Amino acid sequence: MKIDLVIIGGGPAGMAAALSAYENGVTDILILERDKELGGILNQCIHNGFGLHTFKEELTGPEYAVRYIEKVQEKKIPYLLNTMAVDVKGGSPCIITAMNREKGLFKIETKAVVLAMGCRERARGAMNIPGFRPAGIYSAGTAQRFVNIEGRMPGKEVVVLGSGDIGLIMARRMSLQGAKVKLVAEIMPYSGGLKRNIVQCLDDFGIPLLLSHTVTEIHGKDRVEGVTVVKVDENLKPIKGTEEYVSCDTLLLSCGLIPENELSEGAGAQMDSVTQGPVVNARLETTAEGIFACGNVLHVHDLVDNVSKEAVSAGAFAAAYIKEKASDWGEAVRPKIPQKTKSIIPEGRDAGKTLICIGCPVGCLITVDKNDDGSLVITGNTCKKGEQYARNEVTAPKRTVTSIMKVEGGAGKVVSVKTKEEIPRNKIWECMKEINKGIVKAPVKVGDILIRDVAGTGVDVVATINMELH
């Protein structure tokens, strides 16, 4: 098989790179995707907060993915699903070895390759938590897959270690599905997640966030029965005497992400120990000839919007390379790594008066004072949305609910859904009850109304993903 450009990975990076290459005149493209659908990890990120930069609106992960999937399909860019690239070699041509059920093991000769395999989570081993090795320890992403794709709950009583965004998001997801999330422990004196997520994922559900705390032991031989939580000193060492046993059946680990670079390393691409991705030049080309990289395989991004942006560049550079062939490789340019989120919620904050805006990742601290005549004085916001948020929050707080519904006759087990608009926060639970009761019949398209006027709020619950018939 000979193809001009092969993209490895059909997630947000891969799709954006393919579209960009297409727009830059290279149309003989093939995307290799190991999963059964395009979209990558976005399909299990059913919460909202994506797309504020790219689409100027707030989307859920699957909705963000669908926008790209539809464009890929519209341009008729070919893709192979359930197909695993097992080896990539740079050169002219580059050689890719891949396999799937239909073709067996096959090779592709290609002028250029864009690596877009994404990243993976750090596992327990990297944390080195002593204790038994029972069932019930999941990375936050694994739990997310169980809950949001398989529609199954991994446990009832949960402790989350690590306060990265996935951990915070999963604390809310598990709570919405009926689990008791006992606490989130974070070894650093700040959270690695966004302030808005601390508010809407933890505060809303009364889940304590223990900064400067970690888990030092896992109890239970067959299934997790509890963990020892302990306070740490400024050197992150556990402080003797602060140990506390917390009973739980599930420990979720949210301990960061690492680029997934087996293929890049196999290609002989030089690696950067800082980004943990391949070394690239200003054109996002790795040191392996003809192989480009973008998205989380290059370095872990903060926002999917930035992944898409980088992938657009990679697609364009790959197209230029195919058309004009190589100039000098030039020098290595380390991609701009986003600053690590370090969220601190001011201690002793009067939550009725000092608010943290959840409108966007910035998380402005907004103060609300009342005039004598009862009118509100709102300060600290940096945009209009912030003012509106604050007004709502002190009078009638509102939230968007995202969850899943069981589906019958579909290619998958559940479809992701959301309330089309925000609903009153005190209606979340009634809303969840209706969502949990409902069963949807496939096929489903994004935007299909699945529940009308949920919990008497006047707001509909709509699908956020496309699902074909089985």
Partner 1 sequence: MLDVVIIGAGVSGCAVARELSRKKLNIAVLEKNADVCEGTSKANSGIVHAGFDAKPGTLKAKLNVKGSRMMKQLSEELDFPYKQNGSLVLCFDDKDKDKLEELKERGIENGVGELEILDREKVLAIEPAVGEKVAAALHAPMGAIVCPFGLTIALAENAAVNGVDFHFKTKVKEIHKKDGGYEILTNQGSFQARSVINAAGVYADEIHNMVCDEEDKFQITPRKGEYLLYDKKVGNLVSHTLFQLPTALGKGILVTPTVHGNLLTGPTAEDIPDKEGVNTTAEGLDTVLEKAALSILQVPSRQVITSFAGLRAHSSKGDFIIGEVKGAPGFFDVAGMESPGLSCAPAVGEYVAQMVNNYLQPEENGDFIAVRKGIPSMALAGDEERHRLIQENPAYANVICRCEMVTEGEILDAIRRPLGATTTDGVKRRVRAGMGRCQAGFCSPKVVEILSRELGIDESQVIKAEEGSYYLLPENPSGENILPEGI
- Give the per-residue contact string, 200-229, with partner 1 (x = CB under 8 A; - = no): ---xxxxx--------xxx--xxx------
Among 55, 71, 81, 82, binds partner 1 (CB under 8 A): 82
Q: Distance between CA 14 and CA 280 in Å, rounded?
A: 17
Q: Which of 338, 257, 260, 337 is nearest to 293 (CA)?
A: 260
Residue 131 makes contact with partner 1 by CB under 8 A = yes
Nearest distance, CB of residue 274 and partner 1, angstroms: 14
**Binding-residue total with partner 1 (CB under 8 A):** 63
Contact 125, 136 (CB under 8 A): no
Q: Which C-beta is closer to partner 1: that of 194 or that of 423?
A: 423
Residue 76 makes contact with partner 1 by CB under 8 A = no
Nearest distance, CB of residue 60 and partner 1, angstroms: 21
- Give the per-residue contact string, 25-54, with partner 1 (x = CB under 8 A; - = no): ---------x--------------------
Q: Which C-beta is closer to partner 1: that of 273 or that of 375?
A: 273
Q: Which C-beta is closer to partner 1: that of 34 or that of 71?
A: 34
Beta strand 29-32 pairing with 79-80 = parallel
- Give the per-residue contact string, 132-171, with partner 1 (x = CB under 8 A; - = no): xxxxx-xx-xx--xx--xx-xxxxx---------------
Q: Hey, what are 372's tokens?
A: 């004598």
| Residue entry with tokens 């370090």 | 342
Residue 242 makes contact with partner 1 by CB under 8 A = no
Q: Which C-beta is closer to partner 1: that of 21 or that of 183?
A: 183
| Residue entry with tokens 């005497």 | 241
DSSP for 207-230 reads --EEETEEEEEEE-SSB--EEEEE
Nearest distance, CB of residue 352 and partner 1, angstroms: 12
Nearest distance, CB of residue 207 and partner 1, angstroms: 8
Nearest distance, CB of residue 327 and partner 1, angstroms: 33
52: left (phi over 0), alpha (psi -120 to 50) or beta: alpha
Q: Distance between CA 243 and CA 408 in Å, rounded?
A: 47
Nearest distance, CB of residue 337 and partner 1, angstroms: 18
Is the CA virtual torsion 10, 14, 20, 22 positive or negative?
negative
Residue 72 makes contact with partner 1 by CB under 8 A = no
- Give the per-residue contact string, 422-461, with partner 1 (x = CB under 8 A; - = no): ---xx-xx--xx--x-------------------------
Residue 120 makes contact with partner 1 by CB under 8 A = yes
Among 3, 84, 188, 378, binds partner 1 (CB under 8 A): 84
Phi, psi of 386 (to 5 degrees): -65, -40
Residue 392 makes contact with partner 1 by CB under 8 A = no
Residue 101 makes contact with partner 1 by CB under 8 A = yes
Among 126, 239, 326, 449, binds partner 1 (CB under 8 A): 126
Paired strand residues for 42: none
Residue 102 makes contact with partner 1 by CB under 8 A = yes
Burial, 25: exposed, middle or buried (Cβ in 10 Å; 0-12, 13-18, 19+)?
exposed
Q: Which C-beta is closer to partner 1: that of 28 or that of 217?
A: 217
> Restricting to residues 255-274, which ones interact with partner 1 according to CB under 8 A?
262
Question: In Å, how far are 138, 241, 259, 375, 449 from 453, measured between CA atoms?
Answer: 36, 52, 42, 31, 10
Contact 334, 275 (CB under 8 A): yes
Q: Hey, what are 155's tokens?
A: 């446990």
Contact 254, 140 (CB under 8 A): yes
Among 24, 27, 100, 281, binds partner 1 (CB under 8 A): 100
Residue 79 makes contact with partner 1 by CB under 8 A = no
First to last CA, the chain: 30
Q: Which residues are CB-contacts of 373 (< 8 A; sequence separation ≥ 6)?
A: none
Q: Which C-beta is closer to partner 1: that of 76 or that of 101?
A: 101
Question: In Å, how far are 152, 364, 419 from 55, measured between CA atoms?
Answer: 32, 22, 19
Residue 121 makes contact with partner 1 by CB under 8 A = yes
Residue 283 makes contact with partner 1 by CB under 8 A = no
Q: Distance between CA 291 and CA 277 in Å, rounded?
A: 13
Residue numbers at the binding site for partner 1 (CB under 8 A):
34, 82, 84, 86, 97, 99-102, 104-105, 120-121, 123-126, 128, 130-136, 138-139, 141-142, 145-146, 149-150, 152-156, 175-180, 203-207, 216-218, 221-223, 262, 425-426, 428-429, 432-433, 436
